[in-house]
Amino acid sequence: MGVERRHALASAALGRTTTTSPEESPGQAALTGIAGQIIDISPHLVILENPDGEEERLVIAPWATAWHGRPTAPAELPAGTRVMIRARQSGRVAERLWGDITRVTGVILALGRDGRDLTVVLDCGPHRGTRNVVVPYGASGRIRVRHPQFEPGFLFDAIGTRRDGVTRVALPATSQPTYRAASVPSPPPAYRAVQSRISGTAAWSDAFDDGEAGVAYPMLERADSECEDAGVSCTGLPYLALGSMLYVGNVCESRGAVLPIVACGCMAGRFCDRCVECGTSPRGRIAELSPLSFVELGGELTNGCFNARVGLG
């Protein structure tokens, strides 16, 4: 039985309403995330094929910027690049393009060398498997300064590009936690006081299907989610399930959305970092969004996080 019926069944049992309308964001124009592969691109127009195989044409705004391992002009993205686009005007005007962007979050298993480049084998959780990552010599300084414990057992989180099956990281996504992945600090003692929203940092992950909207949440019951590493978090998060609807709000942009929990955020739960997008967020990564949802909530993929607030949707 699919988990997508869970929300409806739970609502029926508890007499809740099942409507899940996104939070109002007054004065904010809606953002649309569009994923696809570039067929053709010029300084003013991009034509791409979306995950359903349909062709989409978007006007590139004059102020638009792009990223392809480094900041670049949109027209310099080569045809065939997988892009994530932040668009306005009902998804017709592209203003930010990220080419071949990927994010690798996991536990370092092994390290090696390939010429001047470093190679890292990461365990990205039970359902995401093992990934091999190349840290190019040119990016190694930036990565190492934010990942001082470059040895097996420690966490790794970086953003880069994935082309021809090779992942090359370019930017650190966060400062590496000082503890080992198996030694996540316990959450602070819980108080009985009512807490309507839980604040922390929301990251993104590319463990979702192309163009999928959803969120990975760390505090799931292991038996229900078939994820042996779930249920670990350094923030006092309540238990939810795959299929639950989670409200995620971007504090920096005053945007919010109700998204389904579609994956187990076992890696997110191990990071006790803060996001400093707008002020300093409380400690702890409370959710991992799909790139599409992250972009639609106003997040910048290369920054890696935004200050978030979550609650049950």
Partner 1 sequence: MADMTDLTVLAALPQVPAFATAALALLVLLLVLGGAAKMATAGSDAEPGGLARLGPGALMPERWRKPFLMFCAGGECVLAAGLLFTRHPLPRWGTVAFFSVATYVLWELRRRRPDVGCGCFGEASGTPVGLRSIGRATALAGMAVLVTLVPVSGADLAARASLELAVAFGAGLALLVVLSPEVSETIARVRYRAPCEQRAVPVARTVSRLRASAEWRSHLPMLESDQPVDTWRELCWRFFVYRIKATAGAEVVFAVYLSGRRPPVRVAVVGADGATSTAGTIGTGGTPGTAHASGPAEGARAAGTTGAAEGSGSPGDGRLQESIGVSGRH
Task: Name the strand (E) or helix (H) holding 255.
Answer: strand 255-264
Please count the residues of the chain: 313
Closer of 249 and 299 to partner 1 (Cβ): 249
**Coil/strand/helix, residue 240:** strand
The amino acid sitting at 232 is V
- How near is the Cβ of 262 to partner 1 at its closest, in Å? 14
Q: In 3D, which of 54, 59, 53 has the Cα closest to residue 41?
A: 59
The amino acid sitting at 78 is P
Closer of 170 and 261 to partner 1 (Cβ): 261
Closer of 42 and 183 to partner 1 (Cβ): 183
Alpha helix segments (H runs only) across the chain:
6-14, 137-146, 222-225, 291-296
Collect all residues with Cβ–Cβ distance below 8 Å to 148 and sequence separation of at least 6.
176
- DSSP code per residue over 51-94: TTS-EEEEEEEEEEEEESSSEE-GGGSPTT-EEEEEEETTTTEE
- How near is the Cβ of 277 to partner 1 at its closest, in Å? 23
Q: Give the C-alpha separation, 24 to 31, whole Å.
A: 13
Closer of 21 and 90 to partner 1 (Cβ): 21
Q: Which residues are near partner 1 by CB under 8 A?
A: 1, 3, 6, 8-17, 19-21, 23, 179-180, 182-187, 189-192, 194-197, 219, 221, 223-224, 231-232, 234, 236-245, 247, 258, 311-313
Closer of 107 and 133 to partner 1 (Cβ): 107
The alpha-carbon radius of gyration of the chain (Å, integer) is 19
- How near is the Cβ of 158 to partner 1 at its closest, in Å? 23
- How near is the Cβ of 19 to partner 1 at its closest, in Å? 8
- Taking CA 214 as the corner, what is the angle to CA 182 and CA 303, rounded to the nearest 5 degrees? 65
- How near is the Cβ of 256 to partner 1 at its closest, in Å? 9
Closer of 184 and 305 to partner 1 (Cβ): 184
Other C-beta atoms lying within 10 Å of the C-beta of residue 101: 23
- How near is the Cβ of 97 to partner 1 at its closest, in Å? 32
Closer of 81 and 250 to partner 1 (Cβ): 250
- How near is the Cβ of 257 to partner 1 at its closest, in Å? 11
Distances from the Cα of 183 to the Cαs of 153, 167, 232, in angstroms? 10, 28, 10
Tell the burial category of 135 from Cβ atoms under 10 Å away from its Cβ (0-12, 13-18, 19+): buried
Could you say which DSSP state residue 23 is in?
P
- How near is the Cβ of 7 to partner 1 at its closest, in Å? 9
- How near is the Cβ of 1 to partner 1 at its closest, in Å? 5
Closer of 8 and 278 to partner 1 (Cβ): 8
Closer of 167 and 250 to partner 1 (Cβ): 250
